[in-house]
Structure 1
C-alpha cells in the first residue's frame, strides 16, 4: 500500500489497530470524517446506537489518538469530537503478525472496510435518482481483470492514488464529495 502523507494520515501499528478494529468504532470515525465534529448523542442518533455505547467507543478512539476534542464547539458539559486525521494507512504485515490478536484485529478491520464499501455502493444505487442526471452520467461501477505481477499491481495502485490526489480539493460550486473505492486483489485463473 502506498505510504500516506504523515500530516493527513495515521499509520496503524499493532496497538492502534486493536484500538480501532471494532465495527462501531470504525463507523464513528468514518462519520466524523465525512460529516465533521459531533457529540456522542448526535453520532448515536446518526448510527442508530445508544449514546452510552457511542460515548464509550469515542473515549476508546481518543485513547488511541483517532479522535480528539473539538473545543471550539463545546458548550458547558457538551463534549464535541472530531477526527484527528483524514485517513488511515494499513500495513499488510499486520496480517502476518506473530500475535493472533493482532491478526484477528487486522481481519476485522479489513472486513469492516469491505462491508463499508459495499454499503456505500448499495446506498448510491438506491439513491441515485435523488441526484441530478449529470451525476448519474458521471459515476462508474466498472471492473477490470488484467494480468499483473505484484510489483506492477503496487505501481498501478500508486499511480491511481497519485491521480486522485491531484483532483482531491476541487472548489467549483457544483463540486460534491465523491467516493472512490479501489479494490485490487488476485483471483484464480480458470
Structure 2
C-alpha cells in the first residue's frame, strides 16, 4: 500500500503592502504623518492623544494628520479598541513600496513629495539607530552582543547591485517567516536598515 504524499506546507502569509502612487504619496509626504504611520505600524493601535504624547505633539495636530492619513487609505478605525468616545486608529498596511518613477514624474509637486518622503525615511533610520545607541546600556547583554553597524564597499554594475538588493531582501523575508510569536520571552522588534547606493570616488 502506497503511503499518501504529505500535503504541502501552506505558503507563509505575505505582509500587506501599499504601493505608493502620485496621489497617495502627496497624502503621506509630511514629517508628522510619516511618524504617525510608523507609530501605528510598529506600536499598534492608538488614539490621537496617545500618539500626541508619544511624539511630543498636540492632540489637535495628531487628530488632523490622522484624518488625512485615513482619507488616503493608510490607516483605518480600530473600533475593537474603542473605549468611550475616543477614536482608535490602526495601520491599514504592514509595509510601503516606493516606485522610483515618482522621482522623475512630470509633476514637480510629485517629485518634491517623493524627495521629502525619502529624506524623512532617512531621518527615521538615523533616529532609530541613535535611539538604540543612546539606550543600549538599558538592554540585556544578549542584545548588546548581537546588534550590527557595518558597511561594505563593492565594485558592482547596476545589474549586480539589483541582484544583491533582491538577495538581501529574500534573506530578510526568510526571517520574517520565522518571527517569534507575540509575547515570547526575550523577543523584541528588530529593525533592519539596508542602504545600497553608488559612491562618488573623486
TM-score tier by shorter-chain length is over 0.9
Work out the CA distance in 1 between the residues paired with 2:60 and 2:14.
32
- Select the structure with the greater relative contact order (CA < 8 A; seq sep ≥ 6): 1
Among 17, 42, 47, the residue aligned to 1:9: 17
Q: Secondary structure at the match of 1:72?
A: helix
Cα distance, 1:133 vs. partner? 1.1
Alignment partner, residue 107 of structure 1: 115
Please state how far the C-alpha of 1:87 moved relative to its aligned partner.
0.9
What is the aligned-residue RMSD (CA, Å)?
1.3
Contact kept in structure 1, 2:15 and 2:95, CA below 8 Å: no
TM-score, with structure 2 as normaliser: 0.89
Residues 15-94 of structure 1: pairs in structure 2 closer than 5 A: 15-94=23-102
Give the C-alpha shift of residue 6 in structure 1: 7.5
1:154 positional shift: 1.3
In structure 2, runs of 5+ residues without a counterpart are 1-12
Report the Cα distance in structure 2 between the residues aligned to 1:175 and 1:37, rounded to whole angstroms.
20
Deviation of residue 170 (structure 1)?
2.7
| Structure 1 gap segments, 5+ residues each | none
Contact 2:37 2:91 in 1 (8 A): yes
Segments of 4+ in structure 1 off by > 3 A? none
Work out which of the two has the higher radius of gyration on C-alpha atoms and give 1 or 2: 2
| Partner residue, 2:3 | none
Q: How many residues align?
A: 186
Question: Deviations along 1:137-184, whole A, 9 cap, x unmatched?
Answer: 101100111111111111111111111111122335322110000000
